[in-house]
């Protein structure tokens, strides 16, 4: 063992301890990795079995809720199942009712907005009509005023006028006699016009 050789470096006390530590780390680390891999595999398998059991129980419970495989259930289990179904049905109904109430509230809000918009548009339309009427009355004088008065009357009650549909040029005494007779009939019968008789 020369002091300059590699073997001398490994034989010194401090280097020997380091070498043994490195050997132990390398040899036991593989054992730890193998052991942890086995433990992980076993825990994963146990977790798989738990999940599989839960899945099968849920499938079994779902079949009960759908009315299948009810034969092996005793009276207490059937009552419990009935109670759960009633509770679920109440929750579904309350959720549906709340949803419909929310929709109704939204529709009422929209209706109010549309009614307000409609009132605003009616106000603008009345304002435009008044401005147009005022301009027309300045331009046309009394004719427009009498038209407006006639328009207001026609909105209240509409009564068609009697007229002869044949076109005649000149004075026709027969038509005049008919109109006079109709006026006389109206006076005789009170308020009933001749065309209603």
Whether 153 shows a pLDDT value over 50: the answer reads no
> What whole-number distance in Å separates Cα of residue 120 and Cα of residue 110?
15
Q: Domain for residue 33, yes or no?
A: yes
Q: Domain for residue 10, yes or no?
A: yes
HSE of 191, CA atoms in CB hemisphere, 13 A: 0
Distances (CA, A) of 95 to 88, 89, 98, 124, 175: 11, 10, 5, 44, 77
What pLDDT is recorded for position 176?
Answer: 57
Whether 1 shows a pLDDT value over 90: the answer reads no
Q: Among residues 191, 120, 119, 125, which one has the least CA distance to residue 159?
A: 191
Q: Domain for residue 24, yes or no?
A: yes
Q: Domain for residue 15, yes or no?
A: yes
Q: Domain for residue 13, yes or no?
A: yes
Number of domains in the chain: 1
Q: Domain for residue 163, yes or no?
A: no
- In percent, the amount of the chain with pLDDT more than 70 equals 58
Q: Domain for residue 66, yes or no?
A: yes
Range of the domain at 23: 1-72
pLDDT category at 101 given cuts 50, 70, 90 is very high
Mean pLDDT of 102-113: 96
Instruction: Name the more confident of 15 and 57.
Output: 57
Q: Domain for residue 25, yes or no?
A: yes
Tracing tokens 């005789």 back to the chain, one arrives at: 188
């Amino acid at each position: 063992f020369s002091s300059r050789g590699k073997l001398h470096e490994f034989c010194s006390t401090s280097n020997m301890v380091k070498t043994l530590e490195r050997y132990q780390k390398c040899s036991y680390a593989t054992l730890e990795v193998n052991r942890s891999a086995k433990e992980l595999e076993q825990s994963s398998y146990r977790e798989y079995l738990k999940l599989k059991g839960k899945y099968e129980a849920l499938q079994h419970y779902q079949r009960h809720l759908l009315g299948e495989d009810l034969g092996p259930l005793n009276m207490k289990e059937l009552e419990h199942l009935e109670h759960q179904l009633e509770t679920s049905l109440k929750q579904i109904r309350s959720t549906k009712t709340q949803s419909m109430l929310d929709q109704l509230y939204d529709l009422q809000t929209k209706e109010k907005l549309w009614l307000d918009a409609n009132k605003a548009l009616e106000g603008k339309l009345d304002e435009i009509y008044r401005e147009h009427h005022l301009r027309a009355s300045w331009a046309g004088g009394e004719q427009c005023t009498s038209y407006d008065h006639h328009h207001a009357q026609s909105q209240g009650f509409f009564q068609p006028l009697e007229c002869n549909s044949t076109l005649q040029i000149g004075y026709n005494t027969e038509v005049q006699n008919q109109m006079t007779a109709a006026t006389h009939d109206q006076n005789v019968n009170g308020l009933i016009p001749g065309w209603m008789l």
